[in-house]
Amino acid sequence: MESLQQKGGIPLLGSDFPEMKVQTTHGIMELPKAFLGKWFVLFSHPADFTPVCTTEFVAFQKRYDKFRALNCELIGLSVDQVFAHIKWEEWIREKLGVEIQFPIISDTGAVAGALGLIHPAKGTNTVRAVFVVDERGKIRIILYYPQELGRNIDEILRAVEAMQISDKNKVAMPANWPNNELIKDRVIVPPAADVKTAKERLEMAKRGEIECYDWWFCHKKVVR
C-alpha cells in the first residue's frame, strides 16, 4: 500500500508514523514499534533551557497519569544532545520540584527532517509540533504552534480521548466536547447518506434511541 506521506514534507493524517530508531533519555527506542498497542503523543520543542518549553514540559508531566489512563504515552523531541536533555531534566527537578518521567528524543536533525519540524525562518530549531498516533501506528492528529506560543496540554489530552471515543463508537465529536454549547457531552451520529437511512434516523429519534434537530443532525449519549 502506498504511503500517504508527502514526498519530502510533513506526514499526512492517516499515514503510518515513519519507522525510525531514536536516541532518548530512556535509551535507544524504535518508533512506532516501542508503543505498539498504545497511543502516543510525540511533541517537539525548539530547545532545552528555554522558558516556554519548560512550562510545557511541566504541564505535560502534571498530566502524564491522565494520558496513561487513556493508554497513551508521551515522548518529547528537540535538536539537542542527550546530555542537554538530562541536565535540563535535572534543573526542572531541582528548581521546580517536577520529575520528567517520559523520554525525550535527542535528534541530530534526521527525525525533525522526516516529520517536517524544521521551518526555514527558524534556523535549526524545531517548531512546536504535536503528532497524535494511535495504537496501530497511524497518525491521527497533527498540530503546529509557533515558538512564541505555548501549547494547551489539556486540549491535547481532550483530543486523544475524543478520538478514542470516536473510534470506539463510530461517531463524530462536536466543538468543545465534552462541553458543547448545543449538545453538551453528547456525540454526533454520522449524517445519513441516503433517503432510507434518513428515515430510519427519524424513527430512532421517535423511539428515544437518539435525538435529532433534523435527519442530518442527530446525536446520542455514550459512555466515556
Residues 6 or more apart whose Cβ sits within 8 Å of residue 166: 172, 173, 187
Can you name the residues that pair with 44 across neighbouring β-strands? 77
Alpha-carbon gap, residue 132 to 14, rounded angstroms: 11
Alpha-carbon gap, residue 219 to 209, rounded angstroms: 9
State the residue for C-alpha cell 512564541. Answer: 148
Catalytically annotated residue among 53, 72, 212, 218: 53
Residues 6 or more apart whose Cβ sits within 8 Å of residue 64: 74, 101, 102
218 is a catalytic site residue: no
Alpha-carbon gap, residue 73 to 69, rounded angstroms: 9
Residues with a known catalytic role: 53
